[in-house]
Amino acid sequence: MYQKKLPVELECGLHLFMEVMNGKWKISLIWCIYNGINRPGELQRRIPKASRRLLDTQLSQLVSHGIIAKTVFDQKPPKVTYELTPLGQTLIPVIESTARWGEMHRNELEQLIQTPDPLLR
């Protein structure tokens, strides 16, 4: 894994939140796990646009940040599940309120946020 070289900014609580949520698919992962989709293969099928590799990476970051817990069943074929930790559960209402803000202002925002011009690709 990549080892950070620059200091992380943690003075403010919002930075802590951002540090945890930062990662293209983490939000989707947390939401899926919260809704009971908790096995790696299932998650991969739910989020097909992300590569398996990257989902694995982000899952393990969430584990190391204490948001989700990983359980490995000692059986053949192997089985793995993820669950929200108590800390992860406290995140749900915050995510909901933040998502509500986004939805509320979706119209304004979509026009303002720069999207890559499909003609250039």
Among 10, 15, 51, 100, binds DNA (CB under 7 A): 51
* Region of residue 18 (left: phi > 0; alpha: psi -120 to 50; beta: else): alpha
Q: How far is the CB of 17 from DNA (least distance, A)?
A: 15
The closest of 38, 113, 117 to 72, measured between CA atoms, is 38
Give the bridge partners for 7, in sequence order. Answer: none
Q: Judged by CB under 8 A, does residue 53 bind a second copy?
A: no
29 binds DNA (CB under 7 A): no
- Which H/E stretch holds residue 70? strand 68-73
Task: Check binding of 52 to DNA (CB under 7 A).
Answer: yes
- Is residue 37 a contact point for DNA (CB under 7 A)? no
- Ramachandran assignment for 2, one of left (phi > 0), alpha (psi -120 to 50 degrees), beta (any other): beta
Q: Per-residue x/- mask for DNA, residues 102 to 121, rule CB under 7 A?
A: --------------x-----
Q: Which is nearer to a second copy, 74 or 108 (CB)?
A: 108
Tell me the C-alpha distance between 118 and 98, whole Å.
29
Which positions touch a second copy (CB under 8 A)?
A: 3-10, 12-22, 24, 27-28, 31, 64-66, 87, 90-91, 94-95, 97-106, 108-110, 112-117, 120-121
